[in-house]
Protein backbone atom coordinates (compact mmCIF):
# COMPACT_ATOMS: atom_id res chain seq x y z
CA UNK A 1 0.00 0.00 0.00
CA UNK A 2 1.22 3.47 -0.81
CA UNK A 3 -0.26 6.95 -0.54
CA UNK A 4 1.59 9.56 -2.56
CA UNK A 5 1.43 13.20 -3.64
CA UNK A 6 4.93 13.42 -5.12
CA UNK A 7 4.94 15.18 -8.51
CA UNK A 8 5.98 12.88 -11.33
CA UNK A 9 5.40 9.71 -9.30
CA UNK A 10 3.58 6.61 -10.43
CA UNK A 11 2.15 3.93 -8.20
CA UNK A 12 2.33 0.49 -9.82
CA UNK A 13 1.35 -3.03 -8.87
CA UNK A 14 2.23 -6.02 -10.99
CA UNK A 15 0.67 -9.41 -11.76
CA UNK A 16 -2.67 -9.10 -9.98
CA UNK A 17 -4.30 -12.51 -10.15
CA UNK A 18 -6.97 -13.17 -7.56
CA UNK A 19 -5.62 -10.18 -5.60
CA UNK A 20 -7.30 -6.79 -5.87
CA UNK A 21 -5.81 -3.37 -6.50
CA UNK A 22 -7.83 -0.52 -5.04
CA UNK A 23 -6.85 2.77 -6.66
CA UNK A 24 -7.97 6.09 -5.16
CA UNK A 25 -7.20 9.58 -6.45
CA UNK A 26 -8.10 13.09 -5.30
CA UNK A 27 -7.60 15.40 -8.31
CA UNK A 28 -7.82 18.63 -6.29
CA UNK A 29 -4.69 17.86 -4.28
CA UNK A 30 -3.12 15.36 -6.72
CA UNK A 31 -3.01 12.68 -4.06
CA UNK A 32 -3.23 9.01 -4.90
CA UNK A 33 -3.35 5.72 -3.09
CA UNK A 34 -2.90 2.16 -4.26
CA UNK A 35 -3.59 -0.96 -2.21
CA UNK A 36 -2.78 -4.48 -3.45
CA UNK A 37 -4.42 -6.97 -1.10
CA UNK A 38 -4.37 -10.77 -1.17
CA UNK A 39 -7.21 -12.04 0.99
CA UNK A 40 -10.73 -10.78 1.63
CA UNK A 41 -11.01 -11.11 5.40
CA UNK A 42 -8.66 -10.90 8.35
CA UNK A 43 -10.88 -13.10 10.56
CA UNK A 44 -8.76 -15.99 11.76
CA UNK A 45 -5.57 -14.07 10.90
CA UNK A 46 -5.63 -11.50 13.69
CA UNK A 47 -1.87 -11.44 14.32
CA UNK A 48 -1.07 -11.17 10.60
CA UNK A 49 -3.66 -8.41 10.28
CA UNK A 50 -2.05 -6.45 13.11
CA UNK A 51 1.38 -6.88 11.49
CA UNK A 52 0.19 -6.05 7.96
CA UNK A 53 -3.43 -4.92 7.61
CA UNK A 54 -2.85 -4.26 3.91
CA UNK A 55 -2.82 -8.00 3.18
CA UNK A 56 -6.58 -8.14 3.82
CA UNK A 57 -9.37 -6.23 2.10
CA UNK A 58 -11.47 -5.71 5.22
CA UNK A 59 -8.53 -4.20 7.12
CA UNK A 60 -6.47 -2.71 4.29
CA UNK A 61 -9.11 -0.59 2.59
CA UNK A 62 -10.09 1.35 5.75
CA UNK A 63 -6.40 1.70 6.71
CA UNK A 64 -5.52 3.14 3.29
CA UNK A 65 -8.49 5.49 3.37
CA UNK A 66 -7.46 6.75 6.79
CA UNK A 67 -4.01 7.56 5.38
CA UNK A 68 -5.59 9.29 2.36
CA UNK A 69 -7.78 11.50 4.58
CA UNK A 70 -4.85 12.30 6.88
CA UNK A 71 -2.88 13.43 3.80
CA UNK A 72 -5.62 15.82 2.69
CA UNK A 73 -8.02 13.84 0.50
CA UNK A 74 -11.73 14.60 0.69
CA UNK A 75 -14.30 11.84 0.18
CA UNK A 76 -16.53 13.82 -2.21
CA UNK A 77 -13.65 14.39 -4.68
CA UNK A 78 -12.27 10.85 -4.83
CA UNK A 79 -12.03 8.81 -8.00
CA UNK A 80 -12.01 5.11 -7.10
CA UNK A 81 -11.24 2.00 -9.13
CA UNK A 82 -10.82 -1.71 -8.42
CA UNK A 83 -8.91 -4.18 -10.56
CA UNK A 84 -8.09 -7.90 -10.36
CA UNK A 85 -10.09 -10.63 -8.69
CA UNK A 86 -9.38 -13.19 -11.40
CA UNK A 87 -9.93 -16.91 -11.09
CA UNK A 88 -6.39 -18.20 -11.44
CA UNK A 89 -6.85 -21.84 -10.46
CA UNK A 90 -8.49 -24.52 -12.58
CA UNK A 91 -11.00 -25.38 -9.87
CA UNK A 92 -11.86 -22.45 -7.63
CA UNK A 93 -15.26 -23.82 -6.65
CA UNK A 94 -14.20 -24.11 -3.00
CA UNK A 95 -12.13 -21.00 -2.25
CA UNK A 96 -13.18 -18.47 -4.91
CA UNK A 97 -10.58 -16.01 -3.62
CA UNK A 98 -10.91 -13.65 -6.61
CA UNK A 99 -14.70 -13.45 -6.30
CA UNK A 100 -14.52 -13.01 -2.53
CA UNK A 101 -11.85 -10.31 -2.88
CA UNK A 102 -14.01 -8.38 -5.35
CA UNK A 103 -17.07 -8.62 -3.08
CA UNK A 104 -15.08 -7.47 -0.06
CA UNK A 105 -13.73 -4.50 -2.05
CA UNK A 106 -17.19 -3.34 -2.99
CA UNK A 107 -18.54 -3.91 0.52
CA UNK A 108 -15.75 -1.96 2.22
CA UNK A 109 -15.97 0.91 -0.27
CA UNK A 110 -19.75 1.06 0.17
CA UNK A 111 -19.35 1.10 3.96
CA UNK A 112 -16.93 4.01 3.56
CA UNK A 113 -19.44 5.88 1.33
CA UNK A 114 -17.04 5.57 -1.63
CA UNK A 115 -18.33 4.90 -5.11
CA UNK A 116 -16.57 3.13 -7.95
CA UNK A 117 -15.84 4.98 -11.14
CA UNK A 118 -13.57 2.34 -12.71
CA UNK A 119 -13.73 -1.43 -12.47
CA UNK A 120 -12.11 -4.36 -14.22
CA UNK A 121 -12.51 -7.51 -12.16
CA UNK A 122 -12.96 -11.22 -12.71
CA UNK A 123 -12.01 -13.35 -15.67
CA UNK A 124 -8.88 -15.48 -15.80
CA UNK A 125 -6.19 -12.94 -16.75
CA UNK A 126 -3.67 -11.22 -14.54
CA UNK A 127 -3.35 -7.45 -14.60
CA UNK A 128 -0.73 -4.77 -14.00
CA UNK A 129 -2.13 -1.43 -12.82
CA UNK A 130 -0.53 2.00 -12.45
CA UNK A 131 -1.68 5.42 -11.26
CA UNK A 132 -0.06 8.63 -12.52
CA UNK A 133 -0.01 11.08 -9.59
CA UNK A 134 0.18 14.17 -11.85
CA UNK A 135 -2.86 13.34 -13.96
CA UNK A 136 -4.85 10.71 -12.07
CA UNK A 137 -4.78 8.46 -15.14
CA UNK A 138 -5.01 4.77 -14.38
CA UNK A 139 -3.36 2.41 -16.83
CA UNK A 140 -4.03 -1.32 -16.85
CA UNK A 141 -2.31 -4.05 -18.83
CA UNK A 142 -4.31 -7.23 -19.36
CA UNK A 143 -3.76 -9.91 -21.99
CA UNK A 144 -0.96 -7.84 -23.52
CA UNK A 145 -3.28 -4.86 -24.11
CA UNK A 146 -3.20 -1.50 -22.34
CA UNK A 147 -6.38 0.25 -21.23
CA UNK A 148 -6.49 3.78 -19.80
CA UNK A 149 -9.08 4.99 -17.32
19-69 pLDDT, tens digit per residue, is 999 999 999 999 999 999 999 999 988 888 888 999 999 999 999 999 999
Q: Could you give the residue numbers annotated as active site?
A: 19
Spell out the domains of the chain, with CATH numbers in brackets.
2-148 (3.30.1330.200)
SS3 of residue 145 by DSSP: strand
DSSP 71-131: TT--GGG-EEEEEE----SS--TTT-HHHHHHHHHHHHHHHTT--EEEEEE-SS--EEEEE
Instruction: Name the pLDDT band for 90 (thresholds 50, 70, 90).
Output: low
| Backbone angle region of 85, left / alpha / beta, with phi > 0 → left and psi within -120 to 50 → alpha | left
Amino acid sequence: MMVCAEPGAQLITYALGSCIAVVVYDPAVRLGGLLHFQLPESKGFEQQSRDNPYKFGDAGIPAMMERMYEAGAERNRLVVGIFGGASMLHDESVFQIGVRNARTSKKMLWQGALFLKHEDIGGTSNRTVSLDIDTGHIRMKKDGQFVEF
